Amino acid sequence: MSEKPMNKTRRSSLKLMLGGLAAIPVVAQVRVAHADEPVSETDPMAVALKYVADATKADRADKAGVAGADQFCHNCMQVKADSGEWRGCNLFPGKLVNENGWCSAWVKKA
Protein backbone atom coordinates (compact mmCIF):
# COMPACT_ATOMS: atom_id res chain seq x y z
CA MET A 1 0.00 0.00 0.00
CA SER A 2 1.03 3.52 -0.62
CA GLU A 3 1.89 5.89 2.20
CA LYS A 4 0.94 8.95 0.14
CA PRO A 5 -1.80 11.20 1.59
CA MET A 6 -5.01 11.52 -0.41
CA ASN A 7 -5.01 14.34 -2.90
CA LYS A 8 -7.04 17.36 -1.63
CA THR A 9 -8.86 17.66 -4.95
CA ARG A 10 -9.87 14.03 -4.83
CA ARG A 11 -11.03 14.38 -1.23
CA SER A 12 -13.10 17.46 -2.09
CA SER A 13 -14.65 15.68 -5.07
CA LEU A 14 -15.53 12.67 -2.93
CA LYS A 15 -17.20 14.89 -0.29
CA LEU A 16 -19.16 16.69 -2.99
CA MET A 17 -20.37 13.41 -4.53
CA LEU A 18 -21.41 11.95 -1.18
CA GLY A 19 -23.21 15.18 -0.26
CA GLY A 20 -25.02 15.14 -3.58
CA LEU A 21 -26.11 11.54 -3.08
CA ALA A 22 -27.39 12.35 0.38
CA ALA A 23 -29.43 15.28 -1.00
CA ILE A 24 -31.31 13.23 -3.62
CA PRO A 25 -34.03 11.90 -1.26
CA VAL A 26 -34.60 15.39 0.18
CA VAL A 27 -35.02 16.95 -3.27
CA ALA A 28 -37.36 14.12 -4.33
CA GLN A 29 -39.59 14.71 -1.29
CA VAL A 30 -39.80 18.44 -1.97
CA ARG A 31 -40.78 17.74 -5.59
CA VAL A 32 -43.48 15.24 -4.54
CA ALA A 33 -44.90 17.64 -1.94
CA HIS A 34 -45.56 20.28 -4.59
CA ALA A 35 -46.60 17.97 -7.44
CA ASP A 36 -50.00 16.92 -6.17
CA GLU A 37 -52.23 19.97 -6.38
CA PRO A 38 -55.82 20.05 -7.63
CA VAL A 39 -56.26 20.55 -11.35
CA SER A 40 -57.87 23.87 -12.23
CA GLU A 41 -60.96 23.84 -14.41
CA THR A 42 -59.23 26.56 -16.45
CA ASP A 43 -56.16 24.38 -17.13
CA PRO A 44 -55.88 23.96 -20.94
CA MET A 45 -56.06 20.15 -20.70
CA ALA A 46 -59.04 20.37 -18.33
CA VAL A 47 -60.83 22.70 -20.73
CA ALA A 48 -60.14 20.38 -23.67
CA LEU A 49 -61.55 17.41 -21.71
CA LYS A 50 -64.44 19.47 -20.25
CA TYR A 51 -63.29 18.60 -16.69
CA VAL A 52 -65.41 19.88 -13.81
CA ALA A 53 -64.83 19.24 -10.10
CA ASP A 54 -68.59 18.82 -9.58
CA ALA A 55 -69.99 16.29 -12.08
CA THR A 56 -73.57 17.45 -11.48
CA LYS A 57 -72.65 20.65 -13.37
CA ALA A 58 -71.54 18.71 -16.48
CA ASP A 59 -73.59 17.70 -19.48
CA ARG A 60 -72.94 13.94 -19.22
CA ALA A 61 -74.27 11.58 -21.87
CA ASP A 62 -74.74 7.86 -21.31
CA LYS A 63 -71.55 5.89 -22.06
CA ALA A 64 -70.90 2.15 -22.20
CA GLY A 65 -74.24 1.36 -20.60
CA VAL A 66 -73.67 3.76 -17.69
CA ALA A 67 -76.11 6.61 -17.21
CA GLY A 68 -74.54 10.06 -17.30
CA ALA A 69 -75.76 10.71 -13.76
CA ASP A 70 -73.64 7.75 -12.54
CA GLN A 71 -70.35 8.91 -14.10
CA PHE A 72 -67.81 10.36 -11.65
CA CYS A 73 -64.03 10.43 -11.35
CA HIS A 74 -64.22 7.93 -8.48
CA ASN A 75 -65.59 5.24 -10.83
CA CYS A 76 -63.39 6.08 -13.84
CA MET A 77 -60.55 3.79 -14.88
CA GLN A 78 -58.21 6.79 -15.40
CA VAL A 79 -58.20 7.62 -11.66
CA LYS A 80 -55.30 6.02 -9.78
CA ALA A 81 -56.45 5.93 -6.13
CA ASP A 82 -59.37 4.02 -4.66
CA SER A 83 -60.15 6.53 -1.92
CA GLY A 84 -59.81 10.18 -0.99
CA GLU A 85 -61.57 13.37 -2.00
CA TRP A 86 -58.69 14.32 -4.34
CA ARG A 87 -57.06 11.60 -6.42
CA GLY A 88 -54.37 11.25 -9.05
CA CYS A 89 -55.48 10.82 -12.66
CA ASN A 90 -53.59 9.44 -15.67
CA LEU A 91 -54.87 12.32 -17.80
CA PHE A 92 -53.53 15.05 -15.49
CA PRO A 93 -50.00 13.99 -14.42
CA GLY A 94 -48.87 15.62 -11.18
CA LYS A 95 -52.34 16.97 -10.44
CA LEU A 96 -55.39 15.74 -8.57
CA VAL A 97 -59.03 15.48 -9.61
CA ASN A 98 -62.03 15.61 -7.30
CA GLU A 99 -63.66 12.22 -6.63
CA ASN A 100 -67.01 13.77 -7.59
CA GLY A 101 -65.62 15.36 -10.74
CA TRP A 102 -66.07 14.32 -14.37
CA CYS A 103 -64.48 14.79 -17.80
CA SER A 104 -65.31 13.71 -21.33
CA ALA A 105 -62.64 10.98 -21.22
CA TRP A 106 -64.58 9.09 -18.52
CA VAL A 107 -64.39 5.29 -18.94
CA LYS A 108 -66.07 2.80 -16.61
CA LYS A 109 -63.68 1.26 -14.08
CA ALA A 110 -63.45 -2.52 -14.44
Q: Quote the pTM value.
A: 0.67
Above pLDDT 70, what percent of the chain? 85
Question: Is residue 77 helix, strand or coil?
Answer: coil
Residue range 7-13: average pLDDT?
76
Architecture label for domain 39-110: Irregular (4.10)
Domain ranges of the chain: 7-35, 39-110
pLDDT beyond 70 at 55: yes
Taking phi first (over 0 means left), then psi (-120 to 50 degrees means alpha), and beta for anything else, what does residue 95 get?
Answer: beta
Q: pLDDT for 87-98, tens place per residue? A: 999 999 999 999
| pLDDT of 6 | 58
